[in-house]
Structure formats: structure tokens, C-alpha cells
Structure 1
Amino acid sequence: MNWLLVALGGAIGASLRYSASLWLIKPSGLFPWTTWWVNMLGCFLAGIFFAFTQKYPVLQQETRLFLMVGILGGFTTFSSFGLETFQLLKQGQNGWALMYVFSSLMVGVIVLSLGFYLFQAVLKN
């Protein structure tokens, strides 16, 4: 049942993300505004959900799988990143939070670059 909740939520979240890319105004320039807004909205919604789970712990089970892992995970993984960083900071784990933020951003960009350039080279052959 848990897999179904995550899969259904993920399909909804991914569809919402795609819809947002069609509906949001795309100003000119290099900054990825659509993604930025989707990520910011995802973080905002994750914060709201996290607040609800603190007040209503029953939401930490199946509802969390459907909403956080499924819908927000499909909508944007940045919401999970923001929530996890916030939890570390809330727990006073500032060093771990900083390392998490830095390593997530830097390693993510490095791995993306490696994948891009490796497959670009393979595709040219």
C-alpha cells in the first residue's frame, strides 16, 4: 500500500510540476524562474505540512508518504532538501546543516556535469 501512495502522489506531483512549467510566465534571461518558483512553493508547502505533523503526529505515516514523498517529491525534491536542512537547524546541528547544503549543491552540480559531459562524449561517437 505504501508504494501505491508514493506512486500515486509522485504522478500527481510530476503532473503539477509540468503544468507549472506551462502556466508560469517565463521572463527573459538566464535565471530559471519557473524552477525557482516551483522549488520555493514546494519548500513553503513542506513547511506547512511539517508544522501540521508536529501538531498531528498521525500525519507522519501514510499521509506523509502520499503528500511529502509522493506529491512534493514528484513536484520538487527541493522541498525535501529544504525540510531536512530546516530540521537539522532546528535540532541545533548547524555544522551538519551547512555541510548538507554545500555538499548537496556542489556534488549535485558536479555529478550532473559529469553525466552531461560523459554522455555527450558517448553520443558524439
Structure 2
Amino acid sequence: MTEPVDPDVDLSDARQRRELRRSHYRVLAAVAAGGMIGTAARYGAALLWPTAAGAFPWTTLGVNAVGCLVIGVFLVVVSETWTAPAWVRPFFATGVLGGFTTFSTYCVDIQRLVSAGHPGPALAYLAGTVAAALVAVTAGTWITRRVLAAGMARRAARRAR
């Protein structure tokens, strides 16, 4: 079985191989820079609203829900209204929001709740985070589309006058 081939890329051409390498490093740098910002923001949230040992991790739940809401808004904007430069999606969606949201800490929080003898809250957190994330990304998408449509309708009404 062979790997899929991009018909626009001829890997026997040294210039195209160099171009591919450069573009990967730029994307990697954009993700890394965004990740530093996102993780710093998450760390700041944990400092502002610390969670005591064995307590329900409201901060992590909130960070993940807010991150999902923002990604819903962001992806509608860059997919439907704005032709963003190539580095914007990897920088913001993967880097900033990937660093800000923390599903690894979510898993550790569940384990900590169970280990502390709180299986009920752990199960509620397990399901509640997934539900909150799905509701948040859906709400972000839906609200952004409505706001953009209303703005376009207002502009069209002004032009019609």
C-alpha cells in the first residue's frame, strides 16, 4: 500500500521538498508560540481560582468550556467571513486554545476525585465536561452565525436606503 500523494507536490524536485520543510517549521513555530500563550492563560486561571485537593475542579471545567466556546466563534469567523493568513489557525486554534483547554488535567482531576473517595462527583465531572464542551462549541458557532447574519442584514438595509 502506498501513501496518499498530493498531486501539486513533486517530491523529486528539491525546491519543493525544501518548501515543504520550511512550511512545516513555520506551522510548528506558530503552534508553539500560541501554546505558550494558552498555557500561560490556563496557569493564570488556576492561580486565580485554585482547586483544593479533593474538591470539584470548577476552574478546569470553566477553562475547557470557555475554550470550546471560543473555538466555536473562531472557526465560524475564519471559515465563513475572514480569509485568515495560513498561520492564524495553527497559532490560535491549535496553539492558544489547545494550550488553554486542558483535557489531560481533566483526566487527572477525575482520577483525583475517585482516589479521594468522591466517585459521584468524578462521574458528574466526567460527563459534565463533555456536555459543557459540546454545548459551548455549539453555542459559540450558533451565536456567531446569528450575529454575523444580523450584521450583514443591517449592512444590506443601509445600502438599500
* TM-score (norm. length: structure 1): 0.56
**Given the alignment, which residue of 96, 101, 113 partners 1:71?**
96
Post-superposition shift, 1:60? 7.5
Post-superposition shift, 1:50? 1.3
The count of aligned residue pairs is 84
1:19 — aligned with what? 44
Are 1:37 and 2:62 an aligned pair?
yes
Q: Deviation digits for residues 78-117 of structure 1, max 9, x if unmatched?
A: 5xx857xx69xxxxxxxxxxxxxxxxxxxxxxxxxxxxxx
Which sections of structure 1, spanning at least 5 residues, go unmatched? 88-125
Provide the secondary structure at the position in 1 that maps to 2:84: helix
Q: Return the structure number with greater helix share.
A: 1
Q: Is the 8 A contact 2:60 2:102 kept in 1?
A: no
Which amino acid in 2 is paired with 1:9? G
Distance in 2 between residues matched to 1:3 and 1:43, nearest whole Å: 22
Q: Structure 1 residues 60, 10: closer, same or farther in 2, change over 3 A?
A: same
Q: Is the 8 A contact 2:34 2:92 kept in 1?
A: yes
Distance in 1 between residues matched to 2:91 and 2:67, nearest whole Å: 14
Post-superposition shift, 1:28? 9.1
1:53 — aligned with what? 78
Larger radius of gyration: 2
Structure 1 residue runs of 4 or more that deviate by more than 4 Å after TM superposition: 25-29
Distance in 1 between residues matched to 2:56 and 2:102, nearest whole Å: 19
Provide the secondary structure at the position in 1 that maps to 2:55: coil
Which sections of structure 2, spanning at least 5 residues, go unmatched? 1-25, 104-129, 139-161
Post-superposition shift, 1:61? 3.1
Q: Is the 8 A contact 2:71 2:93 kept in 1?
A: yes
Fraction of identical pairs, as percent: 40
Q: Is the 8 A contact 2:33 2:91 kept in 1?
A: yes
Q: Where does 1:94-105 land on structure 2 (aligned, <5 Å)?
A: none
Alignment RMSD, CA only? 2.9
Q: Structure 1 residues 67, 39: closer, same or farther in 2, change over 3 A?
A: same
2:29 — aligned with what? 4
Post-superposition shift, 1:67? 0.3
* TM-score (norm. length: structure 2): 0.44
Post-superposition shift, 1:19? 0.3
